A and B are shown apart, each in its own frame.
Chain A
């Protein structure tokens, strides 16, 4: 068709860039940092195949280290019975054969390389590292506004205007080379094509070449991918797109390699220089966390010995490294699955017949312990639902023009909701004036801090004040926070407000509100038997000095606090017009039932009922009683959680969760969602009374009220996908901390508000900080793939899977495991790839049965 047509070449390049970018994950800015499966765009492949591709592009391992498995074996977390069960399992054996095929020596895993890496490999030079350093420097400068973005054009255009003055570019490329950098093209796509031609990269080699360019710095590339593929088109600030990023990288590579080629002595391998290892990435041994899988389970780089029974040793000894890791991972996961299903394999524990309140928590694993405690406090029923309560909204408080998107990133907000002050005019004016004064002082401080001369004056003049403040924050953080809250309340006392949900002030019509309300209630199975109080409880995490604060907030609210979503949903469900529309759809909410909003602070396990001024007088006593129960449940939850937090050296501020939350030096205010492992979509009666160790996302679901599977489909295609992202983020950050974690928090520096770098510069770090995953050298998070546990008829489940390719990808590709039963009288079954089901049998029992047969 159009081999040399420049337009065709550009379009083909855009498709190649898209293909190359599949191996890297989008990286959200810090303010809305959310967990994401780093290999999400490879999900059409099986887990093993996707890991293999990521090994080539990113150099990851993709599997837990042998040391982790060995330690797990030593403490009984994975047993010989688990391994035997995996070895004996037909489908697992087939899967392992598949893995083995991918791991054949002739297909040996070799990292893809850029032209600079190939050159470095041969000549011992460090061109690739120089390109990384320069590109990272300019990305940071551009996003920080130091390099002005032009009225048209993006990063590439802005960089071209300044690189010609860059002494570093002159040092690297010489005067002529520096000039040449900016002359390789004005349009980023044409520039890429020019550079690829100069580097001799043919059309068929472009995808791996470009992929490796992106894979060398997955942070900056991930930010560019987020901007190109996920950010709203009108997102403010400088925009760094994939083609701009690649154009700049390739300019450096083309010019620096041309310079290298012109140097005398080319063609002779330099000696005495380090050559890059070209071994399989998972064969690396770094810092003790990536020991060697060498196909022999009794050796781990000589560090750990596992005393396996002979029969297991025989079976595992013949497997390739990746197949061996696959078996161990499957056994490690099955061990958890067996214990969870055994705990759930008992008669359902029905909720109280006439609960005083029903409290709907977010499905977040941190809600589980609190729900368990609250149910023990009295006649309270709890439910689980995604914390945005079915409202994809953009919300702004009444005293600000700014608004925040409160919905999962799989959605775009469908409406903007605001609020109105319902206090007296005087009270509202006082809060507004106070907030404006605080905001003005912050602006003035920032301006002074950034001024060329004023920053020195500020240091001189402000030191006397800053010193005692820093001392107070350091030595008495709880006291300091209390004083700060008191001062804020004095300056800007909070006026009562309410979310504006009544049309026309609300952008959502009655019909839209009723539709979303119906979806929320039917999906969680709450369509009858309403309690006098129905509390929608969002969540957030109060921490200090924490760039990753949003990762501890509600993922269903786009990495924000969930209180506003809960308030909006409660207000909608209290409207008479909505209740009338719901009644027409078969959901009758008694007039005596009131919906309330609350927010769970996961750092302190305190729950605050919101908008108490809107509570009808005849429900006030019930609310007070509930608040008391929530306080007791929260205290019990915090007490249960405290011993799990590291640093229990007896000092109150370390062992007390509230003290940790207030401490600006605390790098681990809470464990977040570490150890998450399963999502249970079933009536609460299936899991009530069982302590699940804060490891399970709990989504209420009642198949009886969902004959056509619409609610199940909603759960599996949205909350489960989000849970999978969280689970996969924790998994990969734990198994590949060097590449897919954000590293040590103590060395983080924030760059342009979009991310953090380790130390002074370099790539943006992706994934979760080490402090969210590890306790010292020991992995606190257990890297397992998500287990979906559903109580639903097999046919219904398969019908939902059949009409949603994303579910086929996740389940058949072994990204997510599935266990299900029809009801409390049924046996648990395990879904195999392709849709076959086998009855669940615990590993030990299966081995005993096999022994009896054999």
Chain B
């Protein structure tokens, strides 16, 4: 990373979960002190239990949603632990990666 870019390192956590689990994931984000997140509803794909349909016309609870949250690395561990616990008994995907942001105060 070029230091002249003046970016701050953060941790990005992406979760793909059922629409009906979004509310509890939001609670976990909030509990971990995340200041915001992005939700993309009705995502589709292929997982270990087969293809997952994208948008269901008249059922928003069983479609998949992609949630992306960015927070300081020191707070990521708490959230990861909660999400891992949440996903222990339900389908979902969790991806964790380093990321850099230009306005860190928005994520503190």
Which A residues contact B (CB, under 8 angstroms)?
1-2, 5, 7-8, 10-12, 14-16, 18-19, 22, 44, 189, 228-229, 386, 390, 392, 408, 410-412, 519, 710, 713-714, 717-719, 721, 802-806, 808
Contacts and interface: CB of A to CB of B under 8 A. Distances in A.
A15 B88 CA distance: 10
Contacts of A710: 57
A11 B28 contact: yes
Contacts of B28: 11, 14-15
Nearest to B82: A11
B52 interface: yes
A11 B31 contact: yes
A87 B106 CA distance: 64
A644 B86 CA distance: 48
A519 B24 CA distance: 31
A638 to B, nearest CB: 31
Given A5-B77, A10-B31, A718-B57, 17 more contacts: A11-B31, A11-B32, A11-B82, A14-B82, A15-B28, A15-B82, A15-B86, A18-B27, A44-B89, A228-B23, A228-B27, A386-B58, A390-B57, A408-B58, A717-B59, A721-B59, A805-B52
Contact of A805 (B49, B60, B78, B79): B49
A45 to B, nearest CB: 9
Residue of B78, B79, B91 with most chain A CB atoms under a 10 A cut-off: B78
B62 A804 contact: yes
Contact of B79 (A11, A22, A390): A11
Nearest to A802: B50
B12 interface: no
A803 B31 contact: no
B56 interface: yes
B23 A411 contact: no
A559 to B, nearest CB: 16
B87 to A, nearest CB: 9
A408 B59 CA distance: 8
Interface string B29-69: 00111000000000000000111110011111110000000
B1 to A, nearest CB: 25
A18 B27 CA distance: 10
Interface of B: 20, 23-24, 27-28, 31-33, 49-53, 56-62, 75, 77-83, 85-86, 88-91
Nearest to A515: B57
A5 B81 CA distance: 11
A519 B31 contact: no
Given A2-B77, A12-B81, A714-B56, A19 B89 contact: yes
A5 B78 contact: yes
Nearest to A800: B53
Contacts of B90: 44
Nearest to B24: A18
A803 B59 CA distance: 14
B28 to A, nearest CB: 5
A12 B58 contact: no
A519 to B, nearest CB: 6
Contacts of A10: 31, 78
Give me the 10 closest cross-chain CB pairs, A-B, nearest first: A11-B82, A718-B58, A8-B78, A15-B85, A1-B77, A803-B51, A7-B78, A806-B62, A11-B31, A410-B59
Nearest to B19: A410
Contact of A18 (B59, B80, B86, B91): B86
A695 B57 CA distance: 27
Contacts of A804: 53, 56, 62
A5 to B, nearest CB: 6
B59 A718 contact: yes
Contact of B56 (A7, A15, A713): A713
Contacts of A803: 50-53
Contact of B24 (A229, A411, A802): A229
B53 A16 contact: no
Contacts of A806: 59, 62
Contacts of A808: 49
A574 to B, nearest CB: 22
17 contacts: A5-B78, A7-B33, A7-B75, A8-B81, A8-B82, A10-B78, A11-B31, A19-B89, A22-B89, A386-B58, A412-B60, A717-B59, A717-B62, A718-B57, A719-B58, A721-B59, A806-B59
Nearest to B20: A229
Nearest to B32: A11
A802 B82 contact: no
A806 B20 CA distance: 12
A713 B24 contact: no
A229 B24 CA distance: 7
A575 to B, nearest CB: 21
Given A11-B82, A12-B82, A410 B60 contact: yes
A717 B58 contact: yes
A410 B80 contact: no
Nearest to A804: B53
A2 B78 contact: yes
A8 B62 contact: no
A386 B59 CA distance: 13
A384 to B, nearest CB: 15
Nearest to A519: B57
A22 B91 CA distance: 14
A411 B91 contact: no
Nearest to A805: B49
A16 B89 CA distance: 11
A519 B59 CA distance: 13
Contact of B23 (A5, A229, A721, A802): A229
Contacts of A16: 85
Contacts of A802: 50-51
A390 B52 contact: no
A11 B26 CA distance: 11
Contact of B58 (A1, A11, A411, A805): A411
A159 to B, nearest CB: 20
A758 B8 CA distance: 59
B60 A1 contact: no
A276 B66 CA distance: 47
A719 B53 CA distance: 17
A1 B80 contact: yes
Contacts of A15: 24, 28, 82-83, 85-86
A717 B55 CA distance: 11
Contacts of A229: 20, 23-24
A492 to B, nearest CB: 36
B21 to A, nearest CB: 8
A719 B56 CA distance: 12
Contact of A714 (B58, B83, B89): B58
Nearest to A228: B23
A74 to B, nearest CB: 42
Residue of A12, A390, A808 with most chain B CB atoms under a 10 A cut-off: A12
Contacts of B62: 410, 717, 721, 804-806
B56 A718 contact: yes
Contacts of B53: 713, 803-804
Residue of B32, B57, B61, B89 with most chain A CB atoms under a 10 A cut-off: B57
A189 B82 CA distance: 14
B85 A19 contact: yes
Given A410-B59, A714-B56, A11 B78 contact: yes
A215 B78 CA distance: 28
A124 to B, nearest CB: 36
A764 B45 CA distance: 41
A390 B27 CA distance: 31
Nearest to A386: B58
Contacts of B32: 7, 11
Nearest to A409: B61
A717 B52 CA distance: 13
A289 B15 CA distance: 46
Nearest to A719: B58
Contact of B31 (A14, A22, A412, A717): A14
A293 to B, nearest CB: 29
Contacts of B80: 1
A21 to B, nearest CB: 9
Nearest to B51: A803
